Homo-oligomer: A and B are copies of this chain.
Amino acid sequence: MEQRDSRIAPPALGVGMVGYAFMGAAHSQGWRTVGHVFDLPLRPVLAAIAGRDAHAVRAAADKHGWAAAETDWRALIARDDVQLVDICTPGDSHAEIAIAALEAGKHVLCEKPLANSVAEAEAMVAAAEAARSRGQLAMVGFNYRRVPALTFARRLIGDGRLGTLRHVRVSYLQDWLVDPDFPLTWRLQREHAGSGALGDLGAHIVDLAQYLTGEVLVGVSAQLETFVKERPRLDGASSGLTASGGARRGPVTVDDAAVFTGRFSSGALATFEATRMATGRKNGLRLEINGEFGSLAFDLERLNELSFHDHREPAATAGFRRIVVTEPEHPYLEGWWPPGHGLGYEHTFVHQARDLVEAIASGTDPMPSFADGLQVQRVLAAVEESAEKNSVYTPVQAVEAEVR
């Protein structure tokens, strides 16, 4: 029987995660899997997770494969076996935890949206820049950048296959709030979630649009709406996306839907829509980008496919081609299955983990950076400002750091 040759095992990278609900489960799957799929320079170790309820956090640690459990995130940050803090809590605690972790000398991965306000996001960027000088890295978890079809789409656009961009239209449609008796979870409370569909879904599509185009949004004109203004109060803990409520109702203080138009730095026109009230659409992140040389289209409900139209082909044989993005040449696919054997939602977290581990090992800046997260936050703030000001076109203040 052969014994493991520990001399060639890569060094460990201890990960500590705060929060263990939907995002915590997804990140755990990423951390558990990444080292078995990709050859990594560091070996992620699921060191510890933190949560307030001792029993629940211990059960979560067991279920998701974490060695230890802490009831105070400050204790988790303080652990010697944790070099990277992965923040999966609601947005109202991101800034405090991230800044503390950076100040404690840890690398940080923070779920999106970066923060609930521009001010918080600015403080986090400042903390990240300070930590950067000490060799620490900070990344925000816009996981959809790691859908291979979308990573590949950015490459096509970056290679000039679309030419000058004219139109960007993106919608993110869900329907889990259609039922007026869905209860008042933390995602529907402004003090915890910051905003509703805007911060949850809109943050994704603003980031994606900027990522894919390599441009920033320079201004927006917006409308927000809360269709169901009161919902049953939760008696007890909220579980995020699924929960049941009691008889008393309380006010929904975030938006159910956000629609806005915008302008990219190149002059391209954009339309955005984020909603939790699009009956029948479960996770319908659909986007289309039209440039003078071609177009791209994508639907997250068919995440292994990318549609690409090359307008410079002869008209008689031109058309949107359905690329099944599972070839070895496609991003992230070298570690997975043969062509046509598709990936799923959670793979984005595996890819995110890979990129962050490689960045830490090489000391290069991971993307999306906290500055990228701040840029998104400023767009969301401009959306809210425009909506409050009768939809008037509202400029977005540029973040000085390069958006990548």
Contact = CB atoms under 8 A, between A and B. Distances in A.
Copies of this subunit: 4
B54 A36 contact: no
A314 B323 CA distance: 11
Nearest to A79: B1
A80 interface: no
Contact of A223 (B269, B321, B342): B269
Contacts of A267: 225, 227
Choose among A61, A321, A326 the residue with the greatest number of B CB atoms under 10 Å from its CB. Answer: A321
Interface in A253-268: 257, 259-261, 263, 267
Given A261-B391, A391-B221, A340 B284 contact: yes
Contacts of A292: 178, 277, 279
B1 A70 contact: yes
A326 to B, nearest CB: 6
Contacts of A156: 317
Nearest to A329: B316
A301 B343 CA distance: 10
Nearest to A22: B338
A280 interface: yes
B280 A320 contact: yes
A239 to B, nearest CB: 11
A316 B354 CA distance: 22
B321 A167 contact: no
A291 interface: yes
Contacts of A173: 290
A302 interface: yes
Contacts of A329: 314-316
B345 A341 contact: yes
Contact of A283 (B277, B315, B340, B391): B340
Given A58-B5, A391-B392, A241 B338 contact: yes
A275 B169 CA distance: 12
B166 A338 contact: no
Contact of A317 (B29, B321, B339): B321
Interface residues of A, number: 111
A393 B162 CA distance: 32
Q: Name the residue among A162, A173, A223 with the largest chain B CB count within 10 angstroms.
A: A223
A75 B241 CA distance: 48
B304 A301 contact: yes
A181 interface: no
Contacts of A260: 261
Contacts of A152: 316
A308 B316 contact: no
A310 B156 CA distance: 19
Interface in A68-89: 68-71, 75
Given A280-B309, A317-B308, A337-B346, A2 B259 contact: no
A343 B340 contact: no
Given A178-B292, A340-B174, A223 B225 contact: no
Interface string A299-331: 011111000110100111111111110111110
A50 to B, nearest CB: 10
A374 to B, nearest CB: 24
Given A279-B291, A304-B344, 14 more contacts: A1-B70, A2-B54, A4-B61, A29-B37, A36-B64, A36-B65, A166-B279, A178-B311, A280-B294, A282-B326, A282-B338, A303-B342, A315-B327, A318-B321
16 contacts: A22-B338, A156-B317, A166-B227, A221-B261, A223-B393, A259-B270, A259-B271, A277-B292, A279-B290, A279-B291, A301-B304, A316-B329, A318-B323, A341-B346, A342-B345, A390-B393
